[in-house]
Chains A and B, each alone.
Chain A
Amino acid sequence: AQKVTQAQTEISVVEKEDVTLDCVYETRDTTYYLFWYKQPPSGELVFLIRRNSFDEQNEISGRYSWNFQKSTSSFNFTITASQVVDSAVYFCALSEAYGSSNTGKLIFGQGTTLQVKP
């Protein structure tokens, strides 16, 4: 069965600190997709990244970076120089592959609440 675990329930940092959100997943599939979504207090789910299981290259997008380690089944998310606006719940999610892409049936982790204090 597929499962996503975000062991950190809540993290609190001071602005400008770096913070890493952990995500560990379980799947028997050889091909799968991993996602990160941000849910700010307003409630919407904001897409951050999608990564397939064959692409282990780390990715950087501005202050955001992702470290995919297939050997440890982890897909961690780092925010560099955090800002108050980064305060939100962050969800890691997993989907099985369908053909050459993912399905939209996502298995979410429990979410990590990040609070960035000024």
Chain B
Amino acid sequence: AAGVIQSPRHLIKEKRETATLKCYPIPRHDTVYWYQQGPGQDPQFLISFYEKMQSDKGSIPDRFSAQQFSDYHSELNMSSLELGDSALYFCASSLERAGGDEKLFFGSGTQLSVL
């Protein structure tokens, strides 16, 4: 079965650079969530989108922005990168509309290293 696809798997950037992470949800899933997992930490919710509209916001820095496109894929844009942004970034998807399966399935993550 198709899963959540994230690209790239690994990304190395320098301080003050920008990065764009992509997420392709499971087909027919309408909701996307972004999480950040620092080294040895638990995942922290950043932001979510339902039907291309932002649905909830967590501890996402102002330097980060995200959007969901008409094909339901989502992109997380990160600017002015800092060393502390080095983390594993997960995308998850679910089907929220009535009658859907709301289980949350995660992608394999993008490992971002800021040097």
Contact = CB atoms under 8 A, between A and B. Distances in A.
Interface of A: 35, 37, 42-47, 50, 91, 101-111
A43 B88 contact: yes
19 contacts: A37-B106, A43-B111, A45-B43, A45-B106, A50-B104, A91-B43, A101-B102, A103-B56, A104-B31, A104-B48, A104-B94, A104-B96, A105-B56, A106-B45, A107-B45, A108-B43, A110-B41, A110-B42, A111-B42
Which 7 residue pairs are nearest across A and B when measured between Cβ atoms? A108-B42, A45-B106, A101-B102, A44-B108, A104-B33, A104-B104, A105-B45
Given A50-B103, A104-B92, A43 B109 contact: yes
B109 A44 contact: yes
Interface residues of B, number: 25
A112 to B, nearest CB: 11
Interface of B: 31, 33, 35, 41-45, 48, 56, 58, 88, 90, 92, 94, 96, 102-109, 111
B66 to A, nearest CB: 14
Given A47-B103, A104-B48, A109 B42 contact: yes
A59 B115 CA distance: 45
B106 A44 contact: yes
Contacts of A105: 33, 45, 48, 56, 58
B99 to A, nearest CB: 10
Contacts of A106: 35, 43, 45, 104
Contacts of A111: 42
A109 B43 CA distance: 9
A99 to B, nearest CB: 9
A44 B91 CA distance: 10
A116 B82 CA distance: 37
